[in-house]
Structure 1
Amino acid sequence: MINDIKKDAESRMGKSVEALKTELTKLRTGRAHTSLLDHVMVEYYGSQVPLNQVASISVGDARTLTVQPWEKPMVQKVEKAILESDLGLNPATSGEVIRVPLPALTEERRKDMIRIVRQEGENTRVAIRNIRRDAISDFKSLLKDKEITEDEEHKAEEEIQKLTDKYIAKVDEALEAKEKDLMEI
């Protein structure tokens, strides 16, 4: 029973860290990468679908993304979706290919991005601590139902705390790497 609770907590903490890493890839650094457009939605025959389902996205060079819709009528819709996204990008269409140049980040914009990164990190830390709280409450209810002893409960709580520390360290590593990435010119 204790092992089940620990496994569940560890898997949920791992998912929280993965979700953070996914969110961090969406934040723009100075370099072009295809995941930047992952959350852009395009109107496709009456429904909203992710951009990568209606077009191929590739990196043209360090500061340019190339988007090629699979259907010619989609070119304007894709361009409009990129333009209206919250990324602040200005796509340029030439025939059936859309080029998305990435402007250089200003110092002020970099600091804003770091603030966003830190906020995402804090949200993930809170999620991990909530998972720890849930696990500890499960241990306490097992103790109350007399399914485990007090010693087993204390040992389990210590192990959950070690897990929490491990995953918070992973969050800190991810944040540090992203901040370093953002501050590179």
Structure 2
Amino acid sequence: MAEPLIRPADLVPFVPDIDMGKAQEMCDDVLALAGLAAPCLDDENLDPKKAAAAKAILRGAVLRWNEAGEGARKQVTDRTGPFEHSETIDNSTPRRSTRLWPTEITDLQAICAGDGGGRKAWGYDTAGSGGIQHGDTCAINLGATFCDCGAIYTGAGGGPLWGTGE
């Protein structure tokens, strides 16, 4: 079994006194949610660069969850010129939501999409090439405003009056 993308030890540099039981539960939660949003993250052979990027996103989500309810009420005043804006930020009530933000989900899905595995956008030409097929040496192909290969006389798709030498 592959090592999980995020472990409680990955949180310690940011929150040295984190409860390891709580950290394990949050890591399990975020891995389950991420696996639903971006199934490739459960692949044991996930590219190391993609795994590192996913770990960064997941760690950010877990740290956000951990901060909910850790603070207290705080009055913030912002002054710009003659205008003053004041607001109270309340981080004292636990509001732990084990949800990934839409941007995090999009970023995780982009990791799974990666380089597209060789998949490219495609389409079908339903109108056909149409138009007049001029010879390689026609004056129009050289930037002139007139046709000197005779394609205008053969109709759409008829090609030049004279052969192309093939």
Same fold (TM over 0.5): no
Q: TM-score, normalised by structure 2?
A: 0.27
Larger Rg: 2
Between structures 1 and 2, the one with greater strand share: 1
